[in-house]
Amino acid sequence: MDASRRWFRGRRGRSIEAWGIWLLTGPRVHARRRPSGQVGKVGRVFAGIDTHKDTLAVAVVDHGGRQVAAGQLPNTEPGFLELVELLEAHGVSRVGIEGSGNFGRAIAVHLAIDWTPEWDVSIVEVPTLMTSRERRAQVGRGKTDPVDALAIARIAAREPGLPPVRLTVGPAADLRALLDYRDDLIAERTALVNRVHAELSGLHPGYQKQIRSLATRGRVRQALALLDGEVSIRADLCRRRLERVLDIDEEAAAVKRQIATLVTESGTSLTQMHGVGPLVAARFMAEVVDVTRYPNRDTFASANGSAPIPASSGRTVRHRFNPGGNRQLNRALYTIALSQIREQTEGRAYYDRKRAQGKTKREAMRCLKRRLSDLVYQAMRHDARARVESAATDAVANEAVAVGAASANEARLTALRQPA
């Protein structure tokens, strides 16, 4: 027998091939015969993928959660092709991926866009918290990549409400990259400013009476003027840091203008809400990507962490703070809420009503964030419907133009055929 072909023992001891997949670099995928004895037929079979920078741990289970295949593949294009062969060999109908927005982004895009099986397959996102809880239920198995993949597969088989994977491609991917880059710039600026404050307190004690902060370019220039004539090493390093702060301010402003341009070109209606500027709107667009992933406003609120968690017992009915969800979206909602309660807006009136009902400031703020989550969801759903209708209108117009051109060409040919 060819040494490159790996064989496994079935339940009755007969050698069976690992579902037609040749493993040239060792037994990375282990499979056993299905109870039905059929291979390649579509059924209630589910897969789980635990993603890492270098590898993808894969597990395939049947409808009862019993493992029928497991393995580890490279997180590369050739590895994606091997994974697709495994999924097609077992007729997997649902694939759960943990970390589809990070190390699993490439495989999520490959399965959701490039893979075109002959049957319906759903690619869903499995939260890490659910994986952790499922893994802890497997007593004595510890934590390994295969164990995590098996837990993900069982969650995909058991939980019908998992959202589709977030495909960060196109404008959403551009916005997310720009936002992350700007966040890095702001973090670097904060670190530099903190260091400058520490240096200035030693070089010029009492400087804070003249320069209270370094939040603006004007204040940074005042600090540079304060160091004029200083020839010490510490003063020179402080000047360099301040000059770098000015460069970061210019670059951050340029990135913000680029983000604002992309948001304007998208035609989103989010910016019509009070407190939603280009940066906040871009954050929603970059993190949500496709709002149709959330079937209703409640699932969206749960995803962004604005939905409170029930904490009732006996006659006591209460809710507590939700520390989960996408904290970037939650921060964006908090920014909108702060902007609205500072002025006479509907958000401020809603906040005052909650305070009058006896809620604390934090509780009233959480209620307002939950309400704003519904408004953001409605706006994004409206934008999604508008894009679909616009695409349909453009398709009809293009078809009409094509038909008109064909009719005109036919009329011209008919006229040429007629004798003079």
Which DSSP string do the residues of 136-185 spell out, in sequence order? HTSTT----HHHHHHHHHHHHHH-TTPPBP----THHHHHHHHHHHHHHH
Task: Return all residues near 236 (Cβ < 8 A) that are at least 6 apart.
Answer: 230
237 and 180 in a common domain: yes
Give the tens place of pLDDT for each residue, 356-406.
999 999 999 999 999 999 999 999 999 999 988 887 776 776 665 555 555
Q: What is this structure's pTM?
A: 0.75
Q: How far apart are CA 339 and CA 359, in angstroms?
A: 20
Last residue of a domain, one of 266, 297, 332: 266
Per-residue model confidence (pLDDT) at position 385: 92
Tokens of 335: 């920014």
* Average pLDDT score over residue span 237-246: 95
What is the percent of the chain with per-residue pLDDT over 90, rounded to a whole number?
57
Q: Would residue 20 count as lying in a domain? A: yes
Residue 82 forms part of a structural domain: yes
The tokens for 207 are 């400087």
Taking only the tens place, the pLDDT of each residue in 17-61 is 333 333 333 334 444 444 433 444 456 899 999 999 999 999 999
Residues 146 and 288 in one domain: no
Query: Are both 186 and 151 inside the same structural domain?
Result: no
Statement to judge: residues 149 and 176 lie in one domain: no
151 and 17 together in one domain: yes
* Tens-digit pLDDT profile for residues 106-161: 999 899 888 888 888 999 999 888 898 888 887 777 889 999 999 999 999 999 88
| 233 part of a folded domain | yes
Buried b (16+ CB within 10 A) or exposed e, 154-192: bbbbeeeebbbbbbbeeebebbbebbeebeebeeebeeb
Q: Give the H or E element holding residue 70.
A: strand 67-74
Q: Do both 149 and 233 map to the same domain?
A: no
Q: Does residue 320 sit in the same domain as residue 348?
A: yes
Query: Do 93 and 181 share a structural domain?
Result: no
Instruction: Convert the pLDDT of each residue in 65-101 to its tens digit.
Output: 899 999 999 999 999 999 999 999 999 999 999 988 8
**Same domain, yes or no: 151 and 20:** yes
- Does residue 183 share a domain with residue 151? no
Residue 299 neighbours by CB under 8 Å, 6+ apart: 161, 163
Residue type, 344: Q
pLDDT per residue over 285-322, tens digit each?
A: 999 988 988 889 999 999 899 998 888 888 887 778 88
Are 215 and 153 within one domain? no
pLDDT the model gives residue 411: 56
Whether 39 and 131 share a structural domain: yes
- Range(s) of the domain holding residue 226: 171-266
Helix axes 278-288, 361-417, angle to 10 degrees: 70
208: pLDDT strictly greater than 50: yes
Q: What is the pLDDT of residue 418?
A: 56
* Largest interatomic CA distance in the chain: 102
CB-CB contact of 196 with 246 (8 Å)? no
Banded pLDDT at 409 (limits 50, 70, 90) = low
Q: What is the pLDDT of residue 165?
A: 87
Q: Is 314 within a domain?
A: yes
Domain count, the chain: 3
| Of the residues 158, 191, 222, the one at which a domain ends | 158
377 domain residue, yes or no: yes
In a domain, 358, yes or no: yes
Q: Is 296 domain-assigned?
A: yes
CATH of the domain at 141: 3.30.420.140
Position 412 in a domain: no
